[in-house]
Amino acid sequence: MNSLQLLQHVNPNLKLYDVRDAAFAPYGRVLSVGNEALFAAIRRTEIPAEGNRYVASDPSLEELDAIHAIARTVYGGMPVQAGFCNGRGFTLNAEEYHKCSEVNCTTTGLVLLLALPEHIRSRSLDSRDVVGFFLPPETVVEIHPRVLHFAPCRIRPEGFNCLVVLEHGTNEPLDAVDPTLPGEDALLWMRNKWLLCHPDSPQAQKGAFVGISGENIQLNLP
């Protein structure tokens, strides 16, 4: 069995597809902008021994021709930031969305847990609507605006690395957050970042809006 088939075998209750499958089309698209310089730079980013680490802006990534091509092709020449989210996480915990695309790439392979914006009903997401997508090594994808996502899940004990490209300023701190506000404003957690979390998550303990019901999905390793 290949990597995806092994993951499907040990996670029978989670819908799992490859990003190159037609099922990915509502969530994003595969891009042809990757090159060895980009992949080598991603490999050089460190995977922490525990948990996940997010770096919004890494100059060694932002100077690459591939990132300039992404800025032009995906963001229409808007300023972007290129960083990474690396780690050993395997639990859903939360889902976020941006009102711009997000570009991801990995050299380790990983699984993205995604949901569509129409699955949010009355500021609530049922985790049964979350779908897993296997991102193979050296594959670049664009996640469409408003598609729900969060930190990737590892597919091996050694963890994952993941390029994260976003419009400049995304995920910077706000002056204040208020989950008691009406409507979508209650979900705004950082700049250009709207967040719903599971009640059992670390994000809930930090005061983020609790808006995910059902199982807090955990991805099993083959």
**CA distances from residue 42 to 36, 53, 173, 187 in whole angstroms, order as listed:** 10, 14, 25, 31
* pLDDT score for 178: 95
SS3 string, 156-175, reads: CCCCECCEEEEECCCCCCCC
* pLDDT score for 179: 92
**Residue at token pair 């995304």:** 170
For residue 190, being part of any structural domain is answered with no
Which conformational region is residue 128 in: left (phi greater than 0), alpha (psi within -120 to 50 degrees), or beta? alpha
Task: Read off the CATH number of the domain in which 109 is found.
Answer: 2.60.120
Does residue 1 surpass a pLDDT of 90? Answer: no
What digits encode the pLDDT tens for the residues 107-141? 999 999 999 999 999 999 999 999 999 999 999 99
* pLDDT score for 7: 97
Q: Which structural domain, as residue segments, surrounds residue 34?
A: 3-90+101-170
| pTM above threshold 0.95 | yes
For residue 114, being part of any structural domain is answered with yes
**Residue at token pair 């729900």:** 148
- What average pLDDT does the chain have? 97
For residue 77, being part of any structural domain is answered with yes
Q: Work out how many domains the chain is built from and give that number.
A: 1
Does residue 101 surpass a pLDDT of 90? Answer: yes
For residue 110, being part of any structural domain is answered with yes
For residue 19, being part of any structural domain is answered with yes
Size of the chain in residues: 222
For residue 116, being part of any structural domain is answered with yes
For residue 208, being part of any structural domain is answered with no
For residue 151, being part of any structural domain is answered with yes
